[in-house]
Chains A and B, each alone.
Chain A
């Protein structure tokens, strides 16, 4: 190891790590597509104090925020096959649960945790929009749904955007734990490549670089989108 970095390996593995990006992005996007609407709906149950759902959301959020994602992954990865195999046995479905592509587990875990994070993001964003906005919208004859869609949500979105960005970056980072489910994403791919010649330092430098590039791009994208939303806000004001 004292002979310094293996630069050929460093460069080759960079592209191997890069080849994991599509899986990372796929998991991220699917998780967001599920978590954004679900998180928003559950946030509404918190704001409007819907009896049972309100309590459910609170406990759900508290659990996700109170436990490490790796342990959530362990639990899902250990419990879902158990439940599924019971289910399959009962109905005589001939699927081996251990042949399921790990990406499905990844979808479940990361949607599960991101939804909880977004409940809080939307809850605090919605509570910053003045109650008078909703009342004013209703007073001019908009339905509750219309009032939310046209007046409240656009305003809440501007407030929520930076936090959605943080949640997205954290989600991308969290997918690096997909190794625990043998998910073929950035970290696992580069690590496997390093196993051959013990070039771990190089491999982790590559992984590190890929995440920095990926997250910087995401942050940059959000910043541009936020600017557009805000500009619209000023122009129309």
Chain B
């Protein structure tokens, strides 16, 4: 459903992405792991045109676009098919939780207001925020804000949701509530591409794990492949560093 070919991106002299390929099918939950600076976030942002790639192609079903020189219309179309969950939530500060969720529906997609509000409330119910419709972001905790962020993405009913380190700005005790919500929407068959450092999420929820380092995909496979029998030296080194010594997998 989503195919990325040979994507390159540099910031100044610093080449962040050195030709990455990616393919995601409907219903996939793909987790990208890797040390910081490996290009995971940049990859995600290029897919949604938040950064302009230097070169590369994207295929979205029948739609084929050049990631460097896409037309405004194509960019708009792809953004309509995707949704993005940000590391620091980026809720609209001047809108209530419900307005945050309905904004894209009403303004971006011209869904009638009454319908949008229905969809929005349902999305907020799903993330456990039925009592926070009218709260402004400043009145919500970090975990609640990120759940609104996820509801905002889910409400759009996109083909795929891109998660950019959704829990890394949260206090440890708030990470759980967000991961639970993510697990639930994964179970419903939502296609997800997730950049995260949460190994347990990768292990329990993903059906495919990609390990990136130095701007390239080093290795990819099922969680079992990656965590239990990694082939590449760099993958092993990374896992050894991030996982406790006696960490064992039961898959």
A adjacent to B, CB under 8 Å: no
Residue numbers of B with Cβ under 8 A of A are none
Residue numbers of A with Cβ under 8 A of B are none
